[in-house]
Amino acid sequence: MRIHTPGLLAPLTLAALLLFASPLFAGERSDFPPAAKQRFDQGRTFQQQGKLREAVDAYDDAIRLGMADFPRVHLQRAAALAALKDFDAAVEQYSKFIERFSLEESCRY
C-alpha cells in the first residue's frame, strides 16, 4: 500500500543529498564536548543497526550536551525519524534544520 505524502519527497530528497554528500561536510566544526560527540557516534551506530528510537534519543542527548550547532546531528535525527515513518516529525526536523542553518549555509558543509 502506497501512502501519498504530497511535498514530502522533496525535503527528504534534499536532506538525503545533504546528509550523504560527504564532500559537503569537509571542514566542518569538530571541537564538541566529548560526551556530546560520544552520544552522536552512538546515535550513528544505533541508526546503522536499525535501532532508530535509540538513535533519536542519542541525537537528542548530543544536541543537549553541546552539539546544537552541528548541522549533521539534526540531519541524522531527521533521517532516523523518517526511517521510523514518523514523517510529520521528520519534516518538522528538516524544516527546523533549514530555518536554523539556512539552505545556503547548510550546503557549505
CATH of the domain at 89: 1.25.40.10
Cell numbers of 29, please? 566544526
Rounded Cα gap, residues 15 and 70, in angstroms: 15
Distance CA 90, CA 30 (A): 25
Say if 7 falls within a structural domain: no
**Are the C-beta atoms of 56 and 75 separated by less than 8 Å?**
no
Do residues 62 and 39 make contact, with C-beta atoms less than 8 angstroms apart?
A: yes
Q: Does residue 16 lie in a domain region? A: no
**Does a structural domain hold residue 62?**
yes
Q: pLDDT truncated to tens, each residue of the chain (109 aa)? A: 445 455 555 555 555 544 444 434 445 677 899 999 999 999 999 999 999 999 999 999 999 999 999 999 999 999 999 999 999 999 999 898 888 888 776 665 5
Q: Is residue 43 part of a domain?
A: yes
End-to-end Cα spacing for the chain? 37
Q: How many domains does the chain have?
A: 1
**CA 100 – CA 49 distance, rounded (Å):** 29
- Indicate whether 14 belongs to any domain: no
The whole model's pTM is what? 0.71
| Cα distance between residue 18 and residue 39, in whole Å | 21
